[in-house]
Amino acid sequence: MGLYTLVATCICTLVLPVLLFLVAVKLWQIYMIRGRDPGCQLPLPPGTMGLPFLGETLQLVLQRRKFLRMKRQKYGFIYKTHLFGNPTVRIMGAENVRQILLGEHKLVAVHWPASVRTILGSDTVSNLHGAQHKSKKRALMKAFSREALEHYIPVIREEVRCAVKDWMQSDPCVLVYPEMKRLMFRIAMRILLGFDPEQIKTDEQELVEAFEEMRKNLFSLPIDVPFSGLYRGLKARNFIHSKIEENIQKKIQDSVDKRNPKDALQLLIENCRRSDEPLNMQELKESATELLFGGHETTASTATSLVMFLGLNQDVIQRVREELQETGLMGVGSQEKTLNIELLEQLKYTGCVIKETLRINPPVPGGFRVALKTFEIDGYQIPKGWNVIYSICDTHDVADVFPNKEEFQPERFMGKSPEDSSRFNYIPFGGGSRMCVGKEFAKVLLKIFLVEVITSCNWTLLNGLPTMKTGPTVYPVDNLPTKFCNYNDN
């Protein structure tokens, strides 16, 4: 009797769980196969769906670039997977991406993972649809008009100069990525939210740390329990909201703002007033947080990449300096020369350096959509209700219009640009109706950054070419330790 009991116990504790797991896997596979639209004769894209319920989310979160590279090598430009609780098709390549970006409201609609929607909020520009999206985007575009950008230049230049001066005095080195986030954060706080410099100094460190925590947990499993990624992301988000609410209240009470142009947050408040709807504090806090996050995280990523690529390509620095000398932005009296949009537009090669950086290291790796109906891409069906991820970084990598794509060659964008042959081969700012609203602001900011750093100093990367990671924007895992020194000391 004891032997039978022992055998039964072994079966229950060892064999039964394995059998239940295998049954769950089989049921999962059947469920996924039935996910295809029976009314469409086309097959689903190739790929695997991973573990029951979890899918392949953990592999993506833990391995990121390695996972995506393996998938691309195995399945090509379009494949199926299961991420963040949803069956998903990931696509790349100019023609495939064109169909998604131009299919907004007809084939697809924006649909970020549940964790992103929960942390950022449903009323942000990135999550709104239809008329609401157009209205909010139209209001924000005023903050990035040519007139507004001209107004921002002195503020950007002042902040960059102060940062560069500090870097040159740092010993033994500067961790570029954290410093870049602090710099871009201050610029975004002043320009996009209208904070004064003294107010920023008070809360800067705590807010930067909170944004870092929010960033790390933006893409996480949608499980809000203590110590989960979503829980930590929401906690950081709530702290940010508490810090910026006072400034929003002040703007709401200030009914007559004579500044011209106004900051982006002020424009959103005025847009709400024109709609004759009561001002929603939660919506304004979400919008302010999205502006601050988008306005500093992506530019910090690209500015870090610029320092890295230029540190590895001294000949490019020399060519930029020659262009700056030709325009009077380097040499005797250049520090006092007024910088404006017209002068920045003359810096063609400098602009190409930024374009090439965005080609190799686009700060945002892609975008999320959901299929509104079943449709075809590249001979495969995309079933209604499935998520669609279009990849920016992979689309750049596979574009045939970029020869020697592993090399940093800004001159490839001089003259007739490779991006002109198919605008969807080069999409660092996305495309279609969802193209990044702050695109021109980012270009101006990055040009000013290059002007100031290249005219002021030389630098050496202490670890050489670092490993890059994505989470959710691109950054170096070693934070890019760099030694800056005064250009005139060489």
What is the rounded distance in angstroms from the CA atom of residue 109 to the CA atom of residue 112?
A: 10
Distance CA(88)–CA(147), nearest Å, equals: 42
| DSSP letters spanning 421-443 | T-TTS--TT--GGGS-TTHHHHH
Contact criterion met (CB below 8 Å) for 252 and 269: yes
Q: What is the DSSP letter of 273?
A: H
Q: How many CB atoms lie within 10 A of CB 296?
A: 24
Strand 366-371 and strand 387-391: the pairing is antiparallel
The 3-state DSSP class for residue 78 equals strand
- Per-residue CA distances from 448 to 12, 120, 132, 150, 451 (Å): 68, 29, 33, 12, 5
Q: For 64, how many CA atoms within 13 A lie in the half-sphere containing its CB?
A: 18
d(CA 17, CA 172): 56
Residue 485 labeled ligand binder: no
CA torsion sign for 255, 256, 258, 260 is positive
Phi, psi of 108 (to 5 degrees): -135, 165
Annotated binding site for heme: 436
Annotated binding site: 436
